[in-house]
Chains A and B, each alone.
Chain A
Amino acid sequence: MDASDHLYRREAGRMVATLTRIFGVHNIALAEDVVHDAFCRALEVWKFRGIPENPSAWLMASAKNRALDVLRRERTALRYAPELGRLLDSEWTLRPTLDEAFEPHAIKDDQLRMMFSCCNPRLAENAQIALILQLLCGFSIREVAAAYLIGFAAAEKRISRAKKVLAASEGLFEIADAADFTVRLAAVQRALYLLFNEGYHGASPESPVRADLCREAMRLAALLLGHPLAATQATHALYALMCFNAARLMGRVDALGDLISLADQDRSLWDRRLIDQGQRQLELAATGAAVSEYHIEAALAAVHTCAPSAGATNWAEIVELYDALLRMRSSPVVELNRAIAIAQVDGPERGLVELHAIAGSEKLASYPFYSAALGDLELRCGRGNSAREHFRNALSLARSPMERRFLERRVAACTAAADPP
């Protein structure tokens, strides 16, 4: 268990979601206060009396009691969730209503409602994710700021704006009777996809992989899988993709915390259990006609993950999958990866032609791994001097100490393989 996997991370989101349902979305700040308070009080008592066997149940009970206090004390002062309004008014119905709201299945549904509510189309994607991290994953503003490499003030502004939008909405998103369910589900899938990627490819200066972000994305994606309407083929494909990538998380970093390229990873470190789970999810994803970007990306990850070595990978299939992906979404980074795969199939000279064909892309100009790919292929063609130039250029674009050290090693490799005089 790493330090980020603490009780608050695991429990706060569940508690906030359920209390927001009871208090109403306009009282989200009250829900957060009650959760924070319940948490602090529980911890104070546990200091003296010891940690109970089931802290999660203890916390939920404590949140429920605090909610009862608030509802009794401020029954007239505040307007609560309109759909529960009457039931909360009378002492006769108050307790049974709360008992029902704190049933495990109800708590799960509330987390889903909250997740869909955070992906409000009026919010930019990065604001949706920041909101998910804070409300569903128990991230503090400081932790959101660290996850997105932005300052504390910027993160605070982003979250408070997003919360205002959320609080001004009519209520939590109702999954069962929403006309725009399909559209909103796509937004939720996208947010979880981006959250996972931030953990997997993120440019955090401290760590090349943020396993905690990947874990949160998977936890929330698993909630989608647990709901009959939300468990679409695309959701299965997305979950499969996360499984395949998460399986390789531990192999991507060496003992010093540096990135290892795919070709050099020790594949015995990959998590078999997650790979198997990914395969099962991919099969479930393929039960219908729908093919999403997640299907293609999961298939790509499956080919890599199931290959015994980089050399024994089915690169021709990879090229085909990238072609399919490009037909759905044009992206310079996808084109870059496709060119690298082509070099594996048809040789480095052919790969270089493909790379130069996408050179004009503005997005790639500042992307260190475009120059690094040029360097790799030049090196494989035996042109060490040219390769070194490209790696030096890549080094000047490096975004983190890890990338810098990775590229420094590539520059050094060129010196060993310098051009014949």
Chain B
Amino acid sequence: MSEFLYLYRGGANRADRTPAENEASLKEWVTWLTDLGQKGHIKDPGQPLEDSGKVVSGKAKTITDGPYAEAKDLIGGYTIVEATDIEQAAQLAGGCPIFQIGGAVEIRPVIKM
């Protein structure tokens, strides 16, 4: 088994949706991740991330507010999954509810020795 990082990007702003819609979406996420866990694919269910943060860059180690990516590119959370190969990892990501609200899952294989 290899490890893969799922990065959840974009999707409709949760504040724009009604509480009932948010709760329905919560249930779909829990169902999806629980199912992956039961099939032995979850290494770490991960965490959500705040929309804002800081970026440190350059030789001067300048600290700026950021990342200020466009909303559709903003990373909202991550999960670490285990799969036989990237094809399977991609196929498993297909069940993520984020697609219903216009978001995307970026899949990055973890390099192991």
Interface set of A (CB-CB < 8 Å, partner B): 3-4, 6-9, 12, 36, 39-40, 43-51, 138, 140, 142
**Interface readout for B30-68 with A: 1 if CB under 8 Å, 0 if not?**
100110000000000111100000000000000000000
Task: Kindly state the separation between the CA atoms of A12 and B20 in the bound complex, as whole angstroms.
Answer: 12
- B23 A8 Cβ-Cβ under 8 A: yes
Chain A residues with CB under 8 Å of B15's CB are 36, 40
Interface of A, secondary structure class, is helix
What number of residue pairs across chains A and B have CB atoms under 8 A from each other?
59
Return the 4 tightest CB-CB contacts between A and B, nearest first.
Answer: A8-B19, A47-B29, A44-B48, A43-B26
Interface footprint category on B: 20 to 34
- A47 B20 Cβ-Cβ under 8 A: no
**Interface check B72, CB cutoff 8 A:** no
5 A-B residue pairs with CB within 8 Å = A6-B23, A8-B20, A8-B23, A47-B30, A49-B45
Shortest CB-to-CB span from B52 to chain A, Å, is 13
Q: Which of B1-28 contact A (CB under 8 A)?
A: 14-15, 18-20, 22-23, 25-26
Chain A residues with CB under 8 Å of B34's CB are 50
Chain A residues with CB under 8 Å of B46's CB are 48
Q: Which residue of A lies closest to B76 (CB)?
A: A44
A3 with B30: in contact, given A45-B47, A48-B47 (CB under 8 Å)? no
Chain B residues with CB under 8 Å of A8's CB are 19-20, 22-23
Report which of A6, A45, A49 forms a contact with B19, defined as CB distance below 8 A.
A6
Chain B residues with CB under 8 Å of A4's CB are 20
Report which of A44, A48, A142 forms a contact with B79, defined as CB distance below 8 A.
A48
A46 with B77: in contact, given A8-B23, A40-B15, A140-B19 (CB under 8 Å)? no
- A43 B47 Cβ-Cβ under 8 A: no
- B19 A12 Cβ-Cβ under 8 A: yes
- A48 B77 Cβ-Cβ under 8 A: yes
Report which of A7, A48, A50, A142 forms a contact with B48, defined as CB distance below 8 A.
A48
Task: Kindly state the separation between the CA atoms of A9 and B18 in the bound complex, as whole angstroms.
Answer: 11
